[in-house]
Structure 1
Amino acid sequence: MSFLDHLEELRWHIVRSAIAIVVIAIAAFLLVDFVWGVVILGPSKIDFITYQYLCDLAVKLETPALCISELSFEIQSRDMTGQFTMHILTSVVLGFVLAFPYVFWEIWRFVSPGLYPKERNAARGATFFVSLLFLSGVLFGYFIVAPLSINFLGNYKVDAAILNEFDIISYVNTLTMLVLACGLMFQLPIVVYFLAKSGLITDVTMKTYRKHSIVVILIVSAIITPPDVISQLLISFPMMFLYEVGIFVARFVSRKRKEDLA
């Protein structure tokens, strides 16, 4: 295929991906009561499943401090177009999240013909594992990182006289940033797999630079999260765990490479 033919092929993959995102986004836009009342504003309500689970756990462990019984903040819209803009934004984000497996599949369909048969076999199941890790990260971000971060930031006060009244834009941006960041961070084992497959890293290399990785993870977490320690740590710990998982992945790939070369 010529360069222009490749561009034409890529264009149709992008168009089909965009259509999938738009269709789901339109459905999310129309289901405003559920999307906003349950999904988007869920972490801002005391009856959210994460808070309820923590209260149940507090009773079992006899540790009242675990129970989140109050969220002392209000969400307002101070911009005339604020609610409408956030309605569109959240619909598009939800469309992207739900359509992600299909979007990645379309990208893979465009990339895979350019790979050698051995490379395609090595990447078999890529769509499934990438989608699984992304959706797992999104769920982790939504049910763990986001509610705990929102609780910390919403209840934090330097003085009792200062009321926490957040703009809807700030709330939605914080929620989507945390959720999508977790979804992307959970791709670390996949990245390690392909780097190890190409021989760029090994499990020995990752062990050698483990301490350096902790510093990098803390810096990245500080950049992609709101300016609070709780959010940073909630993302840092899973990333450190995934780094350790990556070491096992690299070790497995390195052994397979040695067996193939033997």
Structure 2
Amino acid sequence: MISPDQSSTVVHLLGHLAILRKCLIQIILMLAVVFLCLLPFAQRLYQVFAQPLLQALPANSQMIATDITATFTAPFKLTLFIAFLICLPFFLWHIWRFIVPALYLQEKKLIITLSSSSLILFYLGISFSRYIVLPSVLYFFMHIAPDAVLPMTDISSYLSFCLKLFFTFGLCFEIPVLIIVLLLSKLVTLEQLMRKRKFIIVGCFFVSMFITPPDLLSMLLLAVPMWGLFELGLFAGKFLPHQTEYSTR
């Protein structure tokens, strides 16, 4: 037989699962609504999205579609990506509503600060890659082509290249938040990070060499911001209290 304590635990767990299910349904519905609202403008969105490449291409060149379905799937995927970016704060808010009852007051303040900073840095990383990195990289690749070669980029390949670039920079811009989390969890200390600064800086260039397109410009455009964000994380870490109290809800 199930004891009263076990029964209470099961009921409590089922209640949490029901709340989680409701949150997931609301997240999916929100994404679907935003996506459907943007879908009629999918072709126009892709035209705007393709402008950096079109400006970098030679005058007698153009984009192509090597797959018969690409003219539909590429704008479709781009629209879904934009809908995801629009809904991301909504997603985090629902996750926050789910976990907030179990948090202490200081934990709530900390998570709000880290979540807000993480979201802003993610958007900044994508914006930096879109307006600074992408035009520079495209111009570089289009203008090193031999004279006998006419660049003609597939629309699906261009979308895939850009999305990888956006997510790479968006995630790499989370370095300050990662440093704060490591310091708060006491996995490392500020002194340890500062002592190993030279190795971490070399690591920034080493990592960027593998996750960016194979050219020096792309590597520098990621490695230098990663270095700067690491220094920003160290600077922010100096203001962290040595001990955080979680005794008050």
TM-score by length of 2: 0.84
Distance (Å, rounded) in 2 between the aligned partners of 1:11 and 1:216: 41
SS of aligned partner of 2:63 = strand
1:178 and 2:187 are equivalent in the alignment: no
Match of 1:11 among 9, 21, 33: 21
Distance (Å, rounded) in 1 between the aligned partners of 2:150 and 2:54: 17
Considering only CA atoms, is the larger Rg found in Structure 1 or Structure 2? 2
Distance (Å, rounded) in 1 between the aligned partners of 2:244 and 2:27: 39
Structure with higher RCO (Cα < 8 A, 6+ apart)? 2
CA deviation profile, 1:184-205 (whole Å, cap 9, x unmatched): 2212212222222222223212
Q: Which runs of 5+ in 2 are unaligned?
A: 1-10
Runs of 4+ in 1 over 6 A off after TM superposition: none
Match of 1:143 in 2: 131
Q: Which runs of 5+ in 1 are unaligned?
A: 47-69
Query: Structure 1 101/77 Cα, relative in aligned 2: closer, same or farther at 3 Å?
Result: same
| Structure 1 residue 44: Cα displacement | 1.6
Query: Structure 1 188/162 Cα, relative in aligned 2: closer, same or farther at 3 Å?
Result: same
TM-score by length of 1: 0.80
Matches within 5 A, 1:1-262: 2-38=12-48, 40-46=49-55, 71-72=57-58, 73-157=61-145, 159-253=146-240, 256-257=241-242
* 8 Å CA contact retained: 2:42, 2:76: no
* 8 Å CA contact retained: 1:203, 1:248: no
| Structure 1 residue 33: Cα displacement | 4.7
Distance (Å, rounded) in 1 between the aligned partners of 2:99 and 2:142: 44
| Structure 1 residue 252: Cα displacement | 1.2
Q: How many residues are aligned here?
A: 233
| Structure 1 residue 229: Cα displacement | 2.3
CA RMSD, 1 decimal = 2.2
CA deviation profile, 1:34-63 (whole Å, cap 9, x unmatched): 41222x1121233xxxxxxxxxxxxxxxxx
Query: Structure 1 45/162 Cα, relative in aligned 2: closer, same or farther at 3 Å?
Result: closer
SS of aligned partner of 1:226 = coil
Query: Structure 1 79/100 Cα, relative in aligned 2: closer, same or farther at 3 Å?
Result: same
Distance (Å, rounded) in 1 between the aligned partners of 2:78 and 2:237: 37
Query: Structure 1 224/17 Cα, relative in aligned 2: closer, same or farther at 3 Å?
Result: farther
Percent identity of paired positions between Structure 1 and Structure 2: 29
Query: Structure 1 259/6 Cα, relative in aligned 2: closer, same or farther at 3 Å?
Result: closer
Tell me the amino acid that sits aligned with residue 71 of structure 1.
Answer: L
Query: Structure 1 95/246 Cα, relative in aligned 2: closer, same or farther at 3 Å?
Result: same
Query: Structure 1 196/74 Cα, relative in aligned 2: closer, same or farther at 3 Å?
Result: same
Distance (Å, rounded) in 2 between the aligned partners of 1:258 and 1:249: 16
CA deviation profile, 1:7-32 (whole Å, cap 9, x unmatched): 33222222222222222222222113
